[in-house]
Amino acid sequence: TRPEVLEEIARLYFDAGADIIETNTFGASPARLSRYHLEGEVDEINRSAVRAVRRAVQDRAYVAACCGPSGRILKPYGDTDPADVYDSYLRQIESLISAGIDCICVETMTDLAEATLAVRAAKEVSPSTPLTATMTFDATPKGFYTIMGVSIEEAASGLQEAGADIVGSNCGNGIENMVAIARDFRKCSDLPLIFQPNAGMPEIKDGVMVYGETPEFMAGKAGRLIASGASIIGGCCGTTPEHTAAIRKTVDFIRR
């Protein structure tokens, strides 16, 4: 309903040095929108989001279609039929592709079964459109696992088998943990890797959620993330255009 706001946000990140700008369609699948009785607006919501980013960047950056989890728990652990979730992704991705995106980002996944549904749906709609698939991991005494118990090795293998072109992780961790996650991914995957850390983990201060990792801190660790195997670095929760600009400087310095 506020495309001018979306356009301005996209422009801020583009001006900060981002090469890839995501659409704000994380929750714009029919499965998600049905919670608000908006499933009939899937096409317009997704296309409007793409148009906003495209107006901001034109052809100077890649417009990435963001597809997040359905918010449902699949059978046999929940009551949702996987076929319904697959159809939900199909419908969303058809809208995004028709709007003219450059690539697809399936992200913040914790259930490998759902992640592979999203990847396969995307490849059914447009086999040639580049696709990144990322999962969110927690640090445990036995290593990094999603809340659904998926290991990095299982994620890397399953996402590649489903058709992902680029794999990795986003959200759930600051940049230091993401360096460790990147190393583990590199051990078990030859695909290009993408990592989008948070600006640390959120804390509530004076009733406001804040993230403690500054642009300078994240930029100082970005080189380690690249050395650990990252081909693409982005930002997730708490990262601002200032974080993007600082990381961009580090990347440019390394690439000189």
CA torsion, ordered 79, 83, 86, 87, to nearest 10 deg: -110
Q: Is pLDDT at 66 greater than 80 in this prediction? A: yes
Closest CA to 87 of 53, 61, 60, 125: 125
Q: Which residue, 147, 28, 156, 29, is CA-closest to 86?
A: 29
- The C-alpha atoms of residue 69 and residue 255 are separated, in whole angstroms, by 34
Q: Which residues contact 255 (CB under 8 A, 6 or more apart)?
A: none
Nearest-angstrom CA–CA distance, 11 and 5: 10
| Parallel/antiparallel/unpaired status of strands 193-196 and 20-22 | unpaired
**pLDDT given at position 73:** 96
**Number of other residues whose CB lies within 10 A of the CB of residue 138:** 13
- The model's pLDDT over 74-114, given as tens digits with 9 standing for 90+, comes to 999 999 999 999 999 999 999 999 999 999 999 999 999 99
C-alpha pair distances (Å), 158 with each of 107, 110, 113, 114, 140? 14, 12, 9, 11, 21
Taking only the tens place, the pLDDT of each residue in 237-255 is 999 999 999 999 999 999 8
Q: What is the pLDDT, as a whole number, of residue 256?
A: 86
Q: Spell out the domain ranges in the chain.
A: 1-129, 165-256
CA gap 134, 45 in Å, rounded: 23
Q: Tell me the per-residue pLDDT of 175-225, one tens digit each, with 9 for 90 and over.
A: 999 999 999 999 999 999 999 999 999 999 999 999 999 999 999 999 999
* The two three-digit tokens of residue 227, written as one number: 């050395």
The domain defined by 1-129 folds into TIM Barrel (3.20.20)
Cis check for the bond before 215: say yes or no (omega within 30 of 0): no
Q: What is the pLDDT of residues 117-170, one digit of tens each?
A: 999 999 999 999 999 999 999 999 999 999 999 999 999 999 999 999 999 999
CB atoms < 10 A from the CB of 159, how many? 28
- Alpha-carbon span 39 to 60, nearest angstrom: 32
